Amino acid sequence: MLSFFRINDPFRLIAILVIMLLMSTVYIWFVDIPLLQPEMIWMLLGERMADGKHMYIDIIDDSGPLSAGVFWVAHMIFGKSALAYKALAAFIVLFQVVYVNYLFIRYKSFEDNTYIPAFVMALLFYVSFDLVTLSPALMGSTFIVLALGQLFSQTVLQKEGSDAVLLVGIFGGIAACFHFPLATFLPFLLVSGIVVSGFSFQQIIVSLIAYAMPLVFCALYYFWIDGFEAFFYEFIIAPRLIESYAHVRYRDLALLFALPLFLSVMGFFVGFIFKSQTVNQQKQLQLNLIFSIFAVSSLLLTNRRTPYQFIVILPALTYFISLLLVVYKKGIAIQILTAVFVIGIPATGITWTLLQINSGKIESYAVSFEEKHEVTKGKQVLVLGEDMGYYQNATLATPYLHFRLSKNVLLDQEDLGNTVKVYENFLKERPEIIIDEEGVFARLLERIPVLSQQYEKHGTSFFLKKIN
């Protein structure tokens, strides 16, 4: 199979597209992957913004401002469609695959101009089904890849005052505005710029200013609409303080990425020890090694433990695995490794997903839809808990989308101004049903007794709006 992609022919990308469509079909139609909790949040976010609400002010969530903008536009065009979100994600994945392969060809990363990297990266995206979702991590990593491309150009061109220096900073800043954990790539841009690309002090300053520009523009926008404090707290500070969502166990993450990491380590040693390289290729190897280190460090800032957080490391894994597969063309050993990779990556992802579904462990990550959720159909709802199934055919009322962030706001008894704002939110939007799984709303009624005149409790966790 690899011999087909060794040929430098752009039409090989058609085969890449076919592989992606095949893998997506297997996951969506045969494995029947469920809707994920983050996906439900992204769709609700887009729906609420389409109703004229402002992120962080009228929507409490930690999604990046640019990601929220994409969800808003997606809802305006496609509505609350999970399939549309997956299609948009697939388009972004295809762009990354094509662009990374283009970089390796343009800057002579390997001896041969080949489409093996595109094939490798396309398969890596299907090591877990959630890597191909319209996540902020996917959108932000696209701009990290673009920044990486500018650094690649510096390993070859070495032009003083090149536009690449400016673009590296801008792309890095935009990535952070999509997904804040990608802010860890600021030191990567500086370290790689100095160590690998030989940035001067003036170029470093230009990159820093360029990096700050997207963040400053976002901050200015929220300052203009009187939401700077909410933007700073919900996007940057609060998500690092709350308990993270452990959707997937560390053991599962290790199993999913064990094979790609093993082959990447082999590829690194091939390039670093056994394979003679040009000066530019040596710089690119160093660049990808540094990239890998900072990609892993970005995981420390995430508050959802999921496979899709690893998206940003895929370009580096692609480079090292491709280095292994491109260098060795013959021999039983490389044939075995190729077969293990080609079969093992999709088999690992599909098997893991089926095991998660059949064992019920997927429930900590997916949205379950049961008969009990029909009670909220067509109504304005607020769920104060982790069961997102109540939002399936309902609309979010009040800003409290992200439960763990909202919980701190709703239970804050020290800030009188915050209490007034909470009361105004409930008075203004008046959700028809409130699902209070952890007793947060019950405690809120004790602090704001006037709200108890508008709601009556049914069962253990339901509050219904009284009909006047």
| 71 touches 43 (CB < 8 A) | yes
Here the tokens at position 289 are 């090694």
The phi, psi pair for 304, rounded to 5°, reads: -135, 120
| 356 touches 362 (CB < 8 A) | yes
pLDDT digits (tens), the chain, 468 positions = 677 887 888 888 999 999 999 999 999 888 989 999 999 999 999 999 999 999 999 999 999 999 999 999 999 999 999 999 999 999 999 999 999 999 999 988 888 889 999 999 999 999 999 999 999 999 999 999 999 998 888 777 555 556 888 899 999 999 999 999 999 999 888 888 887 777 778 888 988 999 999 999 999 999 999 999 999 999 999 998 888 899 999 999 999 999 999 999 998 888 777 666 777 888 888 899 999 999 988 888 999 999 999 999 999 999 999 998 887 777 788 888 889 999 999 999 999 999 999 988 898 899 988 888 889 999 999 999 989 999 988 999 999 999 999 998 898 877 788 888 999 999 899 999 999 988 999 999 888 888 888 888 887 888 888 776
| 9 touches 113 (CB < 8 A) | no
Q: How far is CA 454 from the centre of its chain?
A: 39
Here the tokens at position 335 are 């044939």
pTM of the model: 0.94
Domain extents in the chain: 2-359, 371-465
Here the tokens at position 286 are 């160093």
pLDDT at 395: 93
CA separation for the pair 463, 446 (Å, rounded): 14
Alpha helices (H) along 51-81: 65-78
Q: Is 5 exposed, middle or buried (0-12, 13-18, 19+ CB in 10 A)?
A: buried
